[in-house]
Every structure is written in structure tokens, then in C-alpha cells.
Amino acid sequence: MSNSHSYNKAEEIGTVVPSKYTSVALLGNPNVGKTSLFNALTGARQYVANWPGVTIEKRVGTMFYGDRAFRIIDLPGTYTLGATSIDEKVARDYLIYESPDLVVVVTDAMNLERSLYLLLQVLELRGNVILAINSIDEAKKAGIKIDSKELSKHLGIPVVLTSAFTGEGIGNLKEAMLKISRSGIHVHYLFPERIEKLISKLSSSLKLKKELENFDTRWLSIKLLERDEEVLKLTGIDPGADYSADIANSRYEFIKELLKDSYRDSEKHYWDLNTAIDHVVTHKYLGILVFFAIMYLVFQVTYSFAEPFTTLIEMGFNALGAFVDKSVPIPWLASLLSDGVIGGVGAVITFVPSIFILFLSLGILEETGYLPRAAFVIDRVMYSMKLSGRSFMSMLLGFGCNVSSIMSTRTISEPQERIVTILVSPFISCSARLPVYIMISSVFFGKAAGLAIFSLYVFSVLFTFASALLFNKLLFKGKPSPMIMELPRYRKPTIRSLMLYTWNRGKHFLEKAGTIILAASIVIWVLSYFPTGNILTSFASILGKSLEPLFRPLGFTWQMVTALIFGGAAKEVIVSSLSTLYGASSLPGNPGLATLASQITPPVAFGFLIFVLLYFPCFATIAAIKNESGSWKYVWITVLYGLGIAYLLALITRLIGGAFL
């Protein structure tokens, strides 16, 4: 049914479903297929936003079932309802303070025992809980038998077996959600008597506190016994001893009893293929080889697979520009439309195929489960820079977009490692810089263009690492965050989830092309057309020319300087402004870029690319740095550091290159 509805824009979801929707939170361990289940429930009626105050991705979607509308929130993956990492805190705070109508705890059929631990913690906190046991298709194949009726009887809550991959049980899950939204269920499970005694003792003293009347005192008592720091502060009570180990053991004991009658394991031959792949992928020598091969492949695919599409789009925009130029009688309007709007946006749209393919590749790496392996293989290297494989994943995301990279540092629990990762993230060559590399490289480096681009990526990685070390030394002297990371089993990603992954992120680029970049293109066109109609005597020329002496040692032309200034809006704007300033589209070999080629030497061009890589990040990234680090101080550090080094290295590139050529 989900496909029959047309796609709604984010704002419409709020208006289509007025206050009568039922709010549902999806909660579960990382890698249990929670997001796939979310996709299966909501289809395309979803949007990605941020949690208020923090910038962890918040996926919200709408589902219609029966006579009701459900608003489903995909909470960050978590192992416990503690409050030690920001992910956990977001999930927990949502459950406590937003109190959704229903909670669906998503667990993994292949690993039920461990994932039920979180369910118990939710049951301690609230009612109206549904247990979804996901990946039931894989479990069946592995010969695992789960009796959901028996489980449901013992737990007292609805239990549904689902598979987001085959779609099995999704209907049952919807039915269970509908049923609970009408009736409601609250259950308790009991701890061993000695713990229950402590709980009731604490509860009775908590009940006397008026300011806590909105909280479940039983839950507060359990958290106090676990010495949960937030609850200790909230209640002002200190029970003394730490019972957390005792309580954790009791939960697992309860799970053991629960699964005795309802869960039958088999010989886990399922793991054999998994182990075989891991044997290669994390092997002493092969593992590193595979790691670099995959990274290289991603960028080759991004570059070469996209080419036919890129050429096609270029041809289309050129034809459109020429047609508009001819058919509009007013010269300035014709110029605005063909050079400003069509030329500027067209130059950026040509790179859409590359960027979608890049996100698709990253999506495949993430959804199959390779990314954590990559983090595992590379962790020791990151550790020597006081970072972890976790920050490696954030940095890897930076190849798509520095903003998402900075946002993803939320998963790093150690504040200091987070700050360092945020500070160095802008030096990771994001996909918006790729258009600039491609444009300049295709003009100056001919057949070596691919190599030039690859070397920029390698340089970006090395520079990021070196900067991380430097920042760690200068700003902090602490230890890196502990890397406790699960290596999930490999999964076949579904086409649908890959499409949603790619679309949700690629859309960002399209939106930028449609808004900021269009605006920037028009501003640039205005600056370069007025007051005289001649670009050489325009405002832009005056601006660029007045700054040009500063960049003379680097060999940059005033057009390049002007483009760099506009690059602050978004790095890919450099492409559109260069093409506007040189009066042409970005087609390789066109007369405009030939002018550029005659003005500067290849070493200067390479220096320019290094400058583009390192100088101040785009406004969106700057805003993200400010938000995430919480201070302008860090923005200044990374911006001034980047600008200084960019200038220095571009100069060195020119000098060294000049000496050899």
C-alpha cells in the first residue's frame, strides 16, 4: 500500500496529518535493520531532520494504517538506555520527555538474547511496547526457531516476527501498532527479591519528592541502583553501593529463562560465509590491500561510471543555453539566462551523476557492513593519532560532504576526539570539491587527470591525519575514545534502502544547486555584467583585481581569486563562477577555459587545487563547526589554519613545479 501514495514533501507531512496522529518510536541496537524496517513502514513518506539542539540525524516518516495515521521516529541505534554517549542520550531523552504513544523495540532474530537487553530496559521505563524480531528470513535459513506466541505470553506484550528484506511480518507489525494504539499495555518484570527490596525502598522515598511526580519512581530507583549519573543528579539521592553488575546479570538471567521455551538455536553454519569474508577482509596483509582497493574503486567508479551521464547533461545544457541566447531579444536578459542561470546551474548539475554514484557507493559500503571492518582494519593507525576507527568513519563520510562528516561526529563519545575530528573534517576532500578538480584537471593534466585527482585525495587524507595529530598535541593531551564497536554480519542491501540512502543525501546537493548555487550564479553574473556589460570592467573584476596582488606569488589570476571568494558559498560554485568569469560553460576544451589554460601553468593549476582543498570551508560547514563544537573559537582555528597552510602549500607547489617544468 505504501507505494500507492505519492511522495510528500517534508512540510506536507506535518499538514496532512494534523494532531490526531499516533507517535511511534523505533528503538534498537545498531545494525539490527531498524532503518530498513523504518523504510518498509513509511516508504518514501519520510524526511531527514536533526534532533533539536544536537545534530544527530532524525528520521521521521508517516504511515497510514486502519483509520489511523502514525508518525514514526527512527531513534539512534543504542545498546542501553544509559546516558554515556550522545546517541544513547538522544534516544533516552526522547522516550522520557517526549513520551511517544508507542515504542517498537527492534531486535535481531540472529542475536535475540543480546538485543532483548534493551527491550527490558524499555519495559522498566514505560508501557505500550511492541517487540519486533527482525531478520526472521535469515534466522529461518540458519535453522533458528522462534516461538513468538510463547514470547508474547511471557513478556505480556505483542511480539512480531519481521523481515525488512522480504517484507514478511510488516503487515502484522502494522496491525499490532493499530491494536496497541487503541488499547495500551503496561507490564513489569521482576528482578530477584534482594534487588526488588532495594527498589521498593528507594521508590517509597522517591514518591515523597514532589518535583519527581512526573517520573516513574520504579524506573528512577533502578537507575539509582545502577548509579546512573543523570538520575543521581536529578533525585539528589545516593544509594551508596553500585548494583549495576548485579542488575545487568539479572536482566540476562531473565532473558535466559524467557528464551528457554521460545528460542531454539542451531549449528550456526550461517556464520561460515561471514567468517570466510572476514578472513580476507580483515587479514593481516590482504585486509589492508582490500581496504585500499575498495577506497580506490569507489573513486574510480564515481569518476568513470558517471562520465556518459555527465557528457549528456553538458550537451543538453549547452543546447539550451544556445537556444535561449538566440531566442531572447534583450541582450542583458539573454546573457543572464544563458550565462548566469543556465551556464551556472548547468555546470553544477553535470556533476550530479558523480555525486549520486559516490553516495551510492558509500551506501553500499555502509549497508553491507564493510564500513565497521574498514574501521577495525584502520583503527590502530587512527589510534596513533589519538583518534579511533569511529572517527575514520566520520572522515570517510566527509568525502561525500564535510557537513555530514561533522554531524556524524556525534557518535564519538569522547568530547576531545570529537572536537579534533570536527576541526580536521574540512580538510577531507568533499564531493563539492570534485567538480573543481575535474574541471581544472581536464584542462591542465589531460590523461593524467585521474592521477591528479587521486593524488589530491591522498594528500587530503595525509593532511587531515597530520592536522589531527597537531591539534591533539596543541589543544589536548588526553586519551582517545575507547572503540567498542560491533562488527555486524554482512547483509545484502535492498535496492530500496540504497535508493533512499542515496536520495536523502544526494538531494542535499540538488537543493544546493537549486538554491544557493543559483543565487550565487546570479550574483556572480550581476557582478560580472554590470556596470558596463563588459566583464573586464565589471564589479567582479574590480573585486578580484584588488585582491589579486595578494595572490600574485601563487600565480592566480583575478578570475581565480574572485571564484575562490564565491567558493565560500559552496565549493562547487568555484566551477560556475570560473565558467561565468571566463564566459563559457565547463565543457573541456571550450574557448573560455583555453584562455585560463594560456594564463597559468600546470603547477599553478595544481597549487590552485590544493588551495581549493584547504582554504576556508563553505558557509554550511562553518555553521556546522560552530554548532557542533559550540564555539567560534574552533571555527577561527580551523579557518585561519586552513587559509595559512593553503597559501603556503600552493606557493610551494608552484615553486617546486616551476623548478621541474
Partner 1 sequence: MKITLSQLPVGVDGTIVEINAPHELRERLYGMGFIKGQRVKTIRRAPLRDPVVYLIKGSEISLREELSSKIVIESRFFSLDLAIPGEYVVDSLVGGRRFLEKMRFIGISKGSRIRVVKSLSRGKYIRINNNDVFIPYRQAMRIVVEELPNE
CB 376, min distance to partner 1, A? 5
Q: Specify the DSSP class assigned to residue 481.
A: P
Binding mask 2-41 for partner 1 (x = CB under 8 A): ----------------------------------------
| 64 vs 252 by CB, closer to partner 1 | 252
CB 276, min distance to partner 1, A? 12
What residues from 343 to 372 belong to the interface with partner 1 (CB under 8 A)?
Answer: 372
Binding flag, residue 376, partner 1 (CB under 8 A): yes
Instruction: For the beta carbon of residue 636, count every other beta carbon within 10 angstroms.
Output: 11
| 252 vs 305 by CB, closer to partner 1 | 252
Span from 82-90, 308-316, 459-467, 645-653 in contact with partner 1 (CB under 8 A): 82-90
Binding flag, residue 385, partner 1 (CB under 8 A): no
CB 31, min distance to partner 1, A? 9
- Of these, 315, 381, 462, 640, which contacts partner 1 (CB under 8 A)? 381
SS3 call for 318: helix
| 413 vs 431 by CB, closer to partner 1 | 413
> Hunting for cell 578472513 — which residue is that?
279
> Hunting for cell 519512581 — which residue is that?
217
370 CB-side CA count, 13 A? 21
- Whole-Å CA distances, 432 to 166, 396, 403, 570: 36, 14, 11, 7
CA dihedral 306, 307, 311, 316 (to 10 degrees): 0
Beta bridge partners of 57: 50
Binding flag, residue 80, partner 1 (CB under 8 A): yes
Contacts of 269 (CB under 8 A, 6+ apart): 142
Binding flag, residue 288, partner 1 (CB under 8 A): yes
Q: Which of 140, 122, 100 is CA-nearest to residue 29?
A: 122
Binding mask 218-257 for partner 1 (x = CB under 8 A): --------xx-x------------x-xx--xx--x-----
Interface size with partner 1, residues (CB under 8 A): 47
Binding mask 471-490 for partner 1 (x = CB under 8 A): --------x--xxxxxxx--
Q: Which of 227, 245, 247 is CA-nearest to residue 237?
A: 227
CB 279, min distance to partner 1, A? 8
Binding flag, residue 282, partner 1 (CB under 8 A): yes
Beta bridge partners of 159: 131
CB 387, min distance to partner 1, A? 12
CB 290, min distance to partner 1, A? 10
Contacts of 282 (CB under 8 A, 6+ apart): 373, 376, 377
Query: By the 8 A CB rule, do 545 and 538 touch?
Result: no
- Of these, 84, 200, 204, 534, which contacts partner 1 (CB under 8 A)? 84
Span from 278-286, 357-365, 399-407, 609-617 in contact with partner 1 (CB under 8 A): 278-286
Per residue, the 3-state secondary structure of 496-512, as one string, reads HHHHHHHHHHHHHHHHH
49: left (phi over 0), alpha (psi -120 to 50) or beta: beta
* 174 alpha-carbon distance from chain centroid: 28
Cell of 174: 502494522
CB 395, min distance to partner 1, A? 18
| 154 vs 373 by CB, closer to partner 1 | 373
What residues from 423 to 482 belong to the interface with partner 1 (CB under 8 A)?
Answer: 479, 482
SS3 call for 619: helix
Cell of 352: 550530479
List of residues contacting partner 1 (CB under 8 A): 78-80, 82, 84-85, 88, 110-111, 113-114, 117-118, 226-227, 229, 242, 244-245, 248-249, 252, 268, 278-279, 282-285, 287-288, 372, 376-377, 379-381, 383, 389, 479, 482-488
